[in-house]
Amino acid sequence: MRIDRVVIDDSPLITLFRSGQANLLPALFDHIVVPDVVWSEVVAERDDAAAVGLPAQPWSICQPAPPVPEVTLWNLGRGETTVLSHALRHPSTRAIIDDREARRRAQTLGIPVLGTGGLLVLAKCRQLIPSLSDALTRIRRAGLYLSGDVTALLRQLAGE
């Protein structure tokens, strides 16, 4: 099943911009929503690659995403809450989120999720990147932690 519509949290955005791989987002997805709360969190760091890069992107759609009660009960961060709230209201939208607790809550609500690592696997499968290993190295250098087990699984999924 092709993923066309996504709503994205701050961690994946920041990681992709810092690693020089944010260009994968519009190559993979037709409709990319950045909730207003997430947008504010990303652009708050004035000298960061994501803070500078996000506002310049024609593909990013900044939208309000009022929290829904089913999500606010779990006391997640503001960004995670708005991403999951948007995805819950728009069932055809996949949530791109890395936070483990938020991913668990999404599963409970039946919200499909994709992490930054999974996004890179998708990019490799669609031949948008030549090497998953290189892309994973870049996101690690940008500050995203991936365990050895997760890295091994991602490489297996990408056929590397």
Phi, psi of 20 (to 5 degrees): 75, 25
Q: How confident is the model at residue 72 (pLDDT cuts 50, 70, 90)?
A: low
12-61 confidence digits (pLDDT tens): 999 999 999 999 999 999 999 999 999 999 998 778 899 889 999 999 88
Distances in Å between the Cα of 61 and the Cα atoms of 12, 56, 72, 88 are 16, 11, 23, 18
pTM of structure = 0.90
What is residue 110's predicted lDDT score, i.e. its pLDDT?
Answer: 92
Given a cut of 80, whether residue 68 has pLDDT beyond it is no
Round to whole Å and give the CA distance between 37 and 41: 6
Q: Which residue has the higher pLDDT, 72 or 58?
A: 58
Summarize pLDDT for 82-129 with one digit per residue, the tens: 999 999 999 999 999 999 999 998 999 899 999 999 999 999 999 999
Burial tier of 153 (Cβ tally within 10 Å: 0-12, 13-18, 19+): middle
pLDDT number for residue 77: 84
Mean pLDDT along residues 141-160:
90
Predicted pLDDT of residue 18:
95
Domains in the chain: ranges and CATH: 5-157 (3.40.50.1010)
